[in-house]
């Protein structure tokens, strides 16, 4: 990460360049515009298709050649999906929300604490530990999947906390930090000058207070990025619930959607698309709300190794 | 814009609060001093509802008298979940799994043997149809009992036959009856195919007489119709390269060659889901299928006219069995075999109830299984599910009330000497996967039948050798 | 160790303790356990019995293991470079000050928000041979003309022609490329990370190059790309980790078919663990996968010395 003082000078340079650039024709910008326009249409078309299919009757959805505009428009598909007993949308959303929210809180908090340790405290063995942490990002989940099962069982047998048969295996590990989030936050914390914290706490106040009163308020965009990434990860997770959730009462949206598909041979396309739209909707709303903080946060954190 | 964002935020907050705090799982753990039995089942929708009725019957009668309450849960991937829960020490008391898993689970000690309990309840070999009784046993012990079962037979669409009557007659075939040999079936199929040619030369199928891959659920077992044993229990060998198997797979390949593999793929991608009006048999795009008794209920749901074509509904209750059959647009006959003299071959697939090893209430769990297997309850369940009865004794009521007017054909096939099931081989899930892969390779013309089967045989031999070696070593080390 | 150093160590470890605890319980112990299981005959339901390297030996002679590994590597060989190129290209386009830039950014990012299961459903439908949008578009006259021209070129190069309709997921030759094409739809995350990296490329450098008379391509080649190389490297490592673990999409969309053309490594691992009850075998597969990721990452690290330029060097 570059020295944060450089940011100001860079902004001024940018402004100057822009002013000069306006005076000259830029063919590559037109090229970019046309290119982006076509690519965006390509990216958005699947959504249109999804929405259109979700509003068709099954017979119309299976029609050949297919039509983009649904006729008649069947809004009832959505009601059907919401009312399907075996899908139980409210319960699925409830479970997914429990897992997502607890994961977001846990990951953000614990990762920020660990990132502070990596970024702001100099101690022996720090870089070795940091290296180990980066290496854990390379461990594929399937390696952990099975042994984790034994561990969850062991915890259930030897402590009063029952893991299997509950949603806990999906969110408890989140409270111990995730390597990716720690890495991202550490990069951001490094850009906060030490003088700032030292000045604020002249007479050697505790790390804990520096962390809460200086670092956390200054890092809101980065924390938002971590929270959003974690939320999306938890909301969309499929393999975790597939392995650890048994009871239909504890299904998450991903699992419920997959079960819905496998029961129905995968081709009750209109209902399936309606269900997919419903799963996607909250995520899009969330992104729309957090968009600015998100792009800002990502831009200031960067992803440099 | 700002207000819109705030509105969205507030809305999201309210919905989240509602979903987090007000939605509660519909837990129905009624206890009132009874022993609670958990029962996991894979079924969904109407099958699940049918079983729910049986569970309710139990809870209201036998369960009440003996102080047992069954808690019924249906889920997807039930086998993996049962396994993992058993490994974790929290198994369900009764697990509703598939017949392919009896040997697999029994061999690794994952199940409680049921011999004594079954005998005490009067459930013996004489009580069950042989193919099912054998399918529930492994290495001399009983490990499971049946919930639902179905044998396979040929469905043919009389209407499509009638439409092509002239062409069929010209080919020397009788449009008023189903094919009786496999060779005849191929000839009927060829006459019933219809296709168009696209401007770029692609041959697009519009209707087909028969497709091995539709629905193709039991294609791995097609060898039985060619007289192939698939597995020899005496020598404990899997026999995929048997010449009769090669012949069977050659027959599958014949369809891909005749119709074109790409045309077949394209045609099949246009089929709707099994449970819809776009099911190809219901949509009349495929004229013959290898299917089980449950098809009637699918017709009833998506195109009831297929079951009630001839007589007005008001008369239906007084129809004779033959008249009930005439009332259908379709007919059922034994799926013809390729071997002269080998008649009435069928493959029987069934769902089982098992008790995982280490459950707390084995006796109470078996009370429930025995209840499901009483003649009254099993007939009730299988009428609701539109399946066969697993028992030797079948009541007249069952035949009269069963939604499929051809149920007698299925019952006869399943009780007959050529009813086959899944081989009692502990690595059958892997063998099945290999067989499925071989059918796909053959029908996509990726490999010759002999080659595909040889590859599959080699792999399963190696896996089975390894498996047995390890089981032996394990037994040795444990004394 | 001085007293100050000791105090610092305690301070540091206090803050790292949640992560260290999690690392021990949920990463280190499982890895070690997985290694132990990989040396065992273990079916989940029976206790593990040590059998030495037998699982690894069996894997070496297991054609399905090789098939799934090769499938995964082929997929990675298509999806990885394609994803890197497309995401970098999109980021560079998006970095231009064009009309509607914020809108384009949003549109290109949204697909990566779609839940895996939902996008699998969607693409299953788009790829449908008979009714799918893609083949419907390809059947239109202009696309047919374009394909005809393409086929003439392919024919001249002695390559197989492209026959329509294409069996995207039903033709074994197309299935893997189809999944790779689909993966391009989700490049949004990577694009955003590139965009962030592009913000850090000093304008002054580009400007200087422009004044020296460098064209757009030369500026990109000699200024932007070298400055961006650390980000490219980061994305490369992330992509290696991600592609080698592909599971949910093929599991839902094709179940590994047709004829195992899309049977991925992780799927075979999953089947062995939970369908065939060979947990020990699955764990040895998992360890091989881990080693493979480490090996490929190490390779990337080694090569990075040649092409990654850190600012200030």
* Separation CA B174–CA C203 (nearest Å): 84
- CA-to-CA dists, residue A32 to B327, C97, C188, C233, angstroms: 67, 9, 17, 25
CA distances from C98 to A29, A291, C104, C220, C250 (A): 6, 19, 10, 18, 37
**Residue B271's closest CA among B285, B255, B259?**
B285
Could you tell me which residues are beta bridge partners of residue B157?
Answer: B330
| CB-closest option in C44, C63, C164 to B200 | C164
Question: Does residue A64 sit in helix, strand or coil?
Answer: coil
Model ipTM? 0.84
Encoding tokens for residue A161? 């906390």
CB–CB of C231/C194 below 8 Å? yes
Cα angle for residues A260, A265, A270 (degrees, 5° grid)? 65
CA distance C50 to chain A (A): 16
Q: What are phi and psi of B137, to 5 degrees?
A: -105, 155
Nearest CA in chain A to C247: A239
As its CATH architecture, domain A86-303 has Orthogonal Bundle (1.10)
Higher-confidence residue of A85 and B135: namely: B135
Angle, nearest 10°, between helix axes A89-120 and A253-263? Answer: 140
Cis peptide before B404 (omega within 30 of 0): no
State the sign of the Cα–Cα–Cα–Cα dihedral A233, A237, A239, A244. positive
* pLDDT band at residue B256 under the 50/70/90 scheme: very high
Mean pLDDT of chain A: 77
The pLDDT value given to residue A127 = 84
The confidence score (pLDDT) of residue B461 equals: 95
Compare all CA atoms of chain A with the CA of C293 and give the residue at the minimum distance. Answer: A138
Distance from CA of C150 to the nearest CA of B (A): 15
CB contact under 8 A, B44 and A86: yes
Instruction: Determine the CATH number of domain C62-127+167-307.
Output: 1.10.3720.10
> How confident is residue B29, by pLDDT bands cut at 50, 70 and 90?
very low
User: B61-101: per-residue pLDDT in tens?
Assistant: 999 999 999 988 777 677 777 877 777 677 889 999 999 89
Stretch A261-269: mean pLDDT, rounded? 56
Point out the residue among B23, B48, B273 whose CB comes nearest to the CB of A264.
Answer: B273
pLDDT recorded at residue A297: 65
At B22, the pLDDT band (50, 70, 90 cuts) reads: low
Q: Does A210 score more than 80 pLDDT?
A: yes
Question: Please, which residues have CB within 8 angstroms of residue B256's CB and are 6 or more apart in sequence?
Answer: B264, B442, B443, B444, B445
Within 8 A by CB and 6+ apart from A111, the residues are A177, A178, A181, A182, A185, A226, C19
Highest mean pLDDT (candidates A90-99, B89-98, C56-65, C238-247):
C56-65
∠ Cα C29 C35 C39 (to 5°): 140
Positive or negative, the Cα torsion across B448, B454, B457, B462?
negative
pLDDT, tens digit, for every residue of A124-152?
Answer: 888 888 888 878 887 777 678 778 887 88
CB pairs under 8 A between A and C: 288
How many CB pairs below 8 A link B and C? 89
Name every residue whose Cβ is closer than 8 Å to that of residue A138 and which is 6 or more positions away in sequence.
Answer: C237, C241, C290, C293, C294, C297
Question: What pLDDT shows up at residue A64?
Answer: 58
| Residue C277: pLDDT over 60 | yes
pLDDT at residue number A301? 54
CA pair distance B91, B365, nearest whole angstrom: 12
Rounded mean pLDDT, C143-161 = 87
pLDDT at A166: 81
Taking contacts as CB-CB distances below 8 angstroms, the residues of chain C near A207 are: 11, 14-15
pLDDT for position B20: 62
Mean pLDDT of chain B: 89
Count of CB atoms situated within 10 Å of the CB of A73:
12
Q: Strand B286-291 vs strand B203-210: parallel, antiparallel, or unpaired? A: parallel
Rounded alpha-carbon distances, angstroms, from residue A52 to A70, A73, A267, C306: 6, 9, 15, 50
CATH 3.40.190.10: which residues of chain B?
27-151+349-420, 153-347
Residue A6 has a pLDDT of 37
CB within 8 Å: A59 and B278: yes
* Nearest residue to C89 (alpha-carbon basis) of C75, C108, C76: C108
CB contact under 8 Å between B84 and A149, yes or no, is yes
Where residue B27 falls among pLDDT bands split at 50, 70, 90? very low
Tokens of C133: 């949008």
Touching C: A residues 80-109, CB under 8 Å: none
- Residue at token pair 């009833």: B300
Does the pLDDT of residue B111 top 70, yes or no?
A: yes
In the structure encoding, which two tokens stand for residue B189, read together? 């199929």
Residue, of B442 and A207, whose pLDDT is higher: B442
A179 CB-near residues (< 8 Å, 6+ apart): A133, A134, A136, A137
- pLDDT category, A9, cuts 50, 70, 90? very low
CB contact under 8 A, A36 and C31: no
* pLDDT tens sequence across B201-251: 888 899 999 999 888 889 999 999 999 999 998 899 999 999 999 999 999
Dihedral sign, Cα of residue C226, residue C227, residue C228, residue C233:
positive
**pLDDT score at A24:** 57
Chain C: closest CA distance from residue A102 (Å):
16
* Residue C78 · residue C177 · CB < 8 Å: yes
* Average pLDDT estimate for A226-255: 82
pLDDT of residue C298: 85
Provide the CA B254 distance to its chain's centre, in angstroms.
25
What's the rounded Cα separation, in Å, for the pair C180 and C77?
Answer: 9
**Residue pair A97/B16 in contact by the 8 Å Cβ criterion:** yes
Q: Which of B20, B87, B278 sits opposite A62 (nearest CB)?
A: B278
Residue B470 sits at the chain C interface (C-beta within 8 Å): yes
Q: How many CA atoms does the CB half-sphere of B138 hold within 13 Å? A: 28
Start-to-end CA span in chain A (Å) = 9
Q: What's the CA dihedral at C211, C216, C222, C224 to 10 degrees?
A: 100
Residues whose CB falls within 8 Å of the CB of residue B478, separated by 6 or more in sequence, listed in order: none
- Is residue C312 over pLDDT 50? no
Among candidate residues B368, B390, B322, B389, the one with its CA nearest the CA of residue B94: B368
Q: What pLDDT score does B4 carry?
A: 67
pLDDT tens figures, C164-182 = 788 899 888 999 999 999 9
* The pLDDT of residue A270 is above 50: yes
Which chain B residue lies closest to C131 (C-alpha atoms)?
Answer: B270
As a whole number, mean pLDDT of residues A91-112 equals 90
Residues in chain B: 479
Instruction: Say which residue the tokens 């597995």 belong to.
Output: B231
Q: What angle do CA B306, B310, B314 make, to 5 degrees?
A: 100
At residue A19, the pLDDT reads: 47
pLDDT of residue A25: 58
- Residue C162 contacts residue A304 (beta carbons within 8 Å): no
Q: What is the pLDDT of residue B23?
A: 60
Say which of A29, A43, A298 has its CB closest to residue C185.
Answer: A43
Backbone φ, ψ for residue B363 (5° rounding): -60, -45
- Other CB atoms within 10 A of residue A34 CB: 12
**pLDDT exceeds 90 at position A213:** no
Q: Does B267 touch chain C (CB under 8 A)?
A: yes
Q: What is the mean pLDDT of residues B291-320?
A: 88
Q: Which residues of chain A are in CATH 1.10.3720.10 domains?
A: 86-303
Partner-chain contact B87 A264, CB within 8 Å: no
Beta strand pairing status for B286-291 and B35-41?
unpaired
CATH 3.40.190.10 fits B153-347, yes or no: yes
Fold of B27-151+349-420: D-Maltodextrin-Binding Protein; domain 2 (3.40.190)
Using CB atoms, pick whichever of B19, B73, B77 lies closest to residue A247.
Answer: B73
Distance CA A273, CA A78 (A): 9
> pLDDT at position A261, please?
64
Chain C residue with minimal CA distance to B272? C131
- Ordered alpha helix ranges (H), chain C: 3-23, 29-38, 54-60, 63-95, 101-109, 116-126, 133-138, 141-156, 172-184, 188-199, 203-211, 216-219, 225-244, 248-253, 265-270, 279-307
Q: Give pLDDT tens digits for A10-66.
A: 344 444 444 444 445 567 778 888 888 888 888 888 888 888 888 988 777 766 566
Pick the more confident residue, C144 or B149: B149
Q: Half-sphere exposure of residue C172, counting CA atoms within 13 Å on the CB side?
A: 18
Does position C107 have pLDDT exceeding 90, yes or no?
A: no
Give the sign of the dihedral formed by CA B174, CA B178, CA B180, CA B183.
positive
Q: Specify the length of chain A in residues.
A: 305
* Closest Cβ opposite residue C129 in set B105, B110, B269: B269
Q: How far is C155 from chain A (nearest CA, A)?
A: 28
Contact predicate B407/B290, CB 8 Å:
no
Mean pLDDT, chain C, rounded, equals: 86
Position C310 confidence tier, pLDDT thresholds 50, 70, 90: low
Q: Which residues, in sequence order, are bridge partners of residue B346?
A: B419
List all chains that touch chain C, counting a touch as 3 or more CB pairs closer than 8 Å: A, B
On the question of pLDDT at B479 being above 60, the answer is no
CB within 8 Å: C21 and A118: no
Question: Residues of chain C with pLDDT > 70: what percent?
Answer: 98
Give residue for tokens 């561990």. Answer: A151
């Amino acid at each position: 990460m570059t020295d944060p003082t450089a940011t100001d000078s860079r902004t001024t340079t940018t402004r100057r360049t822009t002013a000069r650039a306006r005076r000259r024709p830029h063919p590559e910008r037109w090229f970019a515009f046309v290119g982006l326009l076509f690519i965006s249409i390509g990216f958005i078309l699947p959504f249109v298709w999804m929405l259109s299919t979700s509003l068709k009757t099954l017979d119309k959805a299976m029609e050949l050649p297919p039509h983009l505009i649904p006729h008649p428009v069947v809004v009832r598909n959505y009601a059907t999906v919401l009312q399907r007993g075996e899908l139980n949308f409210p319960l699925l959303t409830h479970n997914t929300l429990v897992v997502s929210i607890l994961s977001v809180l846990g990951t953000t908090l614990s990762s920020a604490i660990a990132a502070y340790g990596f970024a702001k405290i100099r101690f022996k063995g720090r870089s070795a530990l940091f290296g180990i942490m980066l290496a854990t990002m390379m461990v594929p989940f399937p390696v952990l999947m099975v042994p984790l099962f034994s561990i969850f069982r062991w915890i259930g047998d030897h402590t009063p906390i029952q893991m299997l048969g509950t949603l806990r295996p999906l969110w408890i590990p989140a409270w111990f930090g995730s390597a990716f989030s720690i890495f991202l936050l550490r990069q951001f914390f490094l850009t906060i000058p030490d003088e700032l914290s030292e000045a604020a706490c002249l007479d050697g106040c505790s790390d804990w207070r520096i962390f809460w009163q200086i670092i956390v308020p200054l890092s809101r965009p980065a924390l938002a990025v971590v929270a959003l990434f974690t939320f999306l990860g938890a909301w969309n997770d499929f393999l975790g619930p597939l392995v650890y959730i048994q009871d239909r009462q504890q299904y998450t949206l991903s699992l419920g959607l997959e079960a819905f598909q496998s029961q129905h041979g995968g081709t009750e396309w209109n209902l399936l698309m309606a269900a997919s739209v419903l799963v996607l909707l909250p995520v899009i709303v969330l992104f729309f709300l957090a968009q600015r903080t998100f792009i800002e946060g990502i831009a200031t954190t960067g992803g440099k190794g | 814009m700002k207000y819109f964002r705030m509105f969205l935020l507030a809305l999201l907050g309210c919905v989240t609060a509602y979903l987090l705090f007000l939605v509660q799982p519909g837990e129905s753990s009624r206890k009132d001093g009874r022993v609670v039995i958990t029962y996991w089942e894979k079924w969904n929708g109407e099958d699940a509802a049918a079983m729910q009725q049986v569970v309710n019957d139990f809870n209201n009668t036998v369960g009440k008298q003996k102080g047992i309450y069954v808690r019924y849960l249906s889920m997807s991937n039930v086998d993996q979940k049962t396994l993992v829960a058993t490994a974790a020490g929290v198994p369900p008391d009764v697990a509703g799994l598939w017949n392919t898993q009896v040997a697999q689970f029994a061999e690794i000690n994952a199940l409680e043997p049921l011999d004594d309990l079954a005998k005490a309840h009067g459930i013996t070999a004489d009580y069950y149809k042989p193919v099912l009784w054998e399918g529930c046993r492994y290495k001399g012990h009983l490990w499971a009992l049946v919930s639902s079962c179905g044998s396979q037979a040929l469905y043919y669409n009389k209407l499509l036959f009638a439409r092509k009557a002239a062409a069929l007659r010209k080919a020397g075939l009788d449009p008023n009856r189903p094919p009786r040999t496999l060779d005849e079936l191929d000839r009927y199929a060829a006459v019933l195919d219809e296709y168009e040619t696209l401007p770029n030369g692609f041959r697009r199928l519009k209707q087909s007489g028969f497709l091995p891959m539709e629905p193709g659920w039991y294609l791995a077992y097609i060898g039985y119709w060619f007289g192939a044993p698939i597995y020899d229990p005496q020598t404990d060998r899997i026999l995929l390269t048997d010449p009769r198997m090669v012949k069977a797979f050659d027959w599958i390949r014949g369809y891909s060659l005749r119709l074109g593999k790409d045309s077949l793929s394209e045609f099949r991608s246009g089929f709707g889901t099994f449970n819809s009006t776009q099911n190809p048999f219901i949509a009349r795009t495929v004229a013959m299928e290898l299917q089980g008794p449950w098809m009637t209920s699918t017709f009833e749901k998506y195109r009831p006219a297929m079951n009630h074509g001839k007589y007005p509904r008001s008369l239906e209750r007084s129809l004779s069995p033959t008249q009930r059959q005439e009332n259908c647009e379709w007919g059922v006959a034994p799926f013809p075999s390729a071997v002269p003299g080998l008649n009435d071959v069928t493959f029987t697939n069934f769902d089982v109830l098992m008790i995982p090893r280490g459950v707390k209430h084995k006796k109470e769990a078996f009370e429930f299984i025995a209840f499901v297997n009483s003649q009254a309850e099993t007939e009730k369940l299988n009428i609701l599910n539109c399946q066969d009865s697993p028992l030797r004794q079948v009541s007249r009521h069952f035949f009269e009330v069963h939604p499929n007017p051809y149920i007698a054909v299925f019952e006869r096939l399943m009780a007959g000497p050529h009813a086959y099931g899944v081989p009692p081989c502990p690595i059958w899930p892997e063998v099945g996967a290999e067989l499925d892969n071989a059918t796909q390779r053959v029908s996509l013309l990726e490999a010759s039948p002999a080659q595909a089967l040889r590859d599959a045989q080699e792999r399963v031999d190696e896996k089975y050798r390894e498996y047995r070696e390890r089981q032996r070593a394990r037994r040795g080390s444990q004394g | 160790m001085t007293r100050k150093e000791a105090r610092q160590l305690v301070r540091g470890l206090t803050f790292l303790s949640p992560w260290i605890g999690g690392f021990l319980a949920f990463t280190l112990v499982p890895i070690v356990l997985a290694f132990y299981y990989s040396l065992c005959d273990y079916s989940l339901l029976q206790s593990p019995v040590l059998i030495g390297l037998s699982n690894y030996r069996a894997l070496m002679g297991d054609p399905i293991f090789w098939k799934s590994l090769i499938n995964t590597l082929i997929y990675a060989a298509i999806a990885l470079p394609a994803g890197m190129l497309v995401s970098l290209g999109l980021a560079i386009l998006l970095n231009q000050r064009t009309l509607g830039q914020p809108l384009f950014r949003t549109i290109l990012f949204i697909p990566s928000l779609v839940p895996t299961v939902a996008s699998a459903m969607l693409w299953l439908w788009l790829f449908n041979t008979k009714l799918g949008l893609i083949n419907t578009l390809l059947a239109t006259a202009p696309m047919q003309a374009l394909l005809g021209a393409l086929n003439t070129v392919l024919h001249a190069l002695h390559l197989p022609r492209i026959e329509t309709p294409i069996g995207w997921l039903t033709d074994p030759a197309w299935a893997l490329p189809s999944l790779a094409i689909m993966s391009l739809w989700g490049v949004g995350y990577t694009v955003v990370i590139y965009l962030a990296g592009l913000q850090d490329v000093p304008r002054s450098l580009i400007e200087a190059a422009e004044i020296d008379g460098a064209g757009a391509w030369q500026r990109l080649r000699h200024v932007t790309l070298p400055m961006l190389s650390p980000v490219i490297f980061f994305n490369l490592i992330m992509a290696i980790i991600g592609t080698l673990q592909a599971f949910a999409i093929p599991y839902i969309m094709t179940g590994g078919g047709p004829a195992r053309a899309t049977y991925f490594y992780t799927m075979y691992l999953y089947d062995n663990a939970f369908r065939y009850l060979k947990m020990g075998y699955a764990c040895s597969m998992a360890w091989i996968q881990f080693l493979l990721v480490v090996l490929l990452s190490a390779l990337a690290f080694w090569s990075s010395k040649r092409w990654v330029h850190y600012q200030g060097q």
